Amino acid sequence: TKVGVLISGTGTNLQALIDQAKRPSSCAEIVVVISNKPGVQGLKRAALAGIQTRVVDHKLYGSRAEFDGTIDRVLEEFGVELVCLAGFMRILTGSFVKKWNSKLLNIHPSLLPSFKGVNAQKQALQAGVRVSGCTVHFVAEEVDAGAIIVQEAVPVLSGDTEESLADRIKEAEHRAFPAAMELVASGAIHLSEDGRVIRRSNL
């Protein structure tokens, strides 16, 4: 399965996906990495791995629709069949999400549906939860609300800061996202027409 990864920054999740796709057993081939920001570390990670990169700078577009249209064109140019949002900090338009429905995965640093939106780790600390974690889900038009594919829990420790919790959650992200990418790339999991996650028992 040809995979496109969208990033906005450091790309540690991208790195985990790259390492997974390198494994001989992997069904995923990352064919392009697209960043909405120039010069980010994720682009270097892709280049080091010999993966084609493109920068689609959202500041150069008059509308979300034009920005998304360019992203879509790049994905089509590379024959992408599955898109992974790995720390991609843009909200995609409904028409883009509709077109790529069931082929668009996102990772979020909380156990959805808890703590949607930005600073999920801070929300968890403020709520005083003892367990948080990460979620990989299919992207739906409502932000952070799509069908859940993989989750991994992590403990919240006394004295945790946003950074220490984010670091612990990221360790889980780097296991959960590659696992979810493989499940969908291999066909073991897919999204049904009525929006449910279907697991093929024989895969």
Nearer to ligand GRF, 81 or 162 (CB): 162
Distance of CA 147 to the CA centre of its chain: 13
Do 114 and 151 contact (CB within 8 A), yes or no? no
What span, in angstroms and rounded, lies between the C-alpha atoms of 201 and 45? 35
CB of 185 to ligand GRF, least distance (A): 19
Choosing from 13, 26, 35, 123, the residue that interacts with ligand GRF (CB under 6 A) is: 13
- Residues 16 and 20: their CA atoms lie apart, in Å, by 6
Residue 183: CA count within 13 A, CB half-sphere: 23
133 binds ligand GRF (CB under 6 A): no
Q: Is 109 in the site for ligand GRF (CB under 6 A)?
A: yes
Cβ nearer to ligand GRF, comparing 153 with 198 = 153
Stretch that binds ligand GRF, among 6-14, 68-76, 95-103, 125-133 (CB under 6 A): 6-14
Helix (H, G, I), strand (E, B) or coil at 60: helix
Q: Name the token pair of 126.
A: 């403020």
In the chain, the amino acid numbered 62 is: G
| Near ligand GRF by CB under 6 A: residue from 4, 5, 6, 12 | 12
Q: Is 10 in the site for ligand GRF (CB under 6 A)?
A: yes
For position 139 contacting ligand GRF by CB under 6 A, the verdict is no
Active site residue 108: yes
| Residues recognised as catalytic | 108
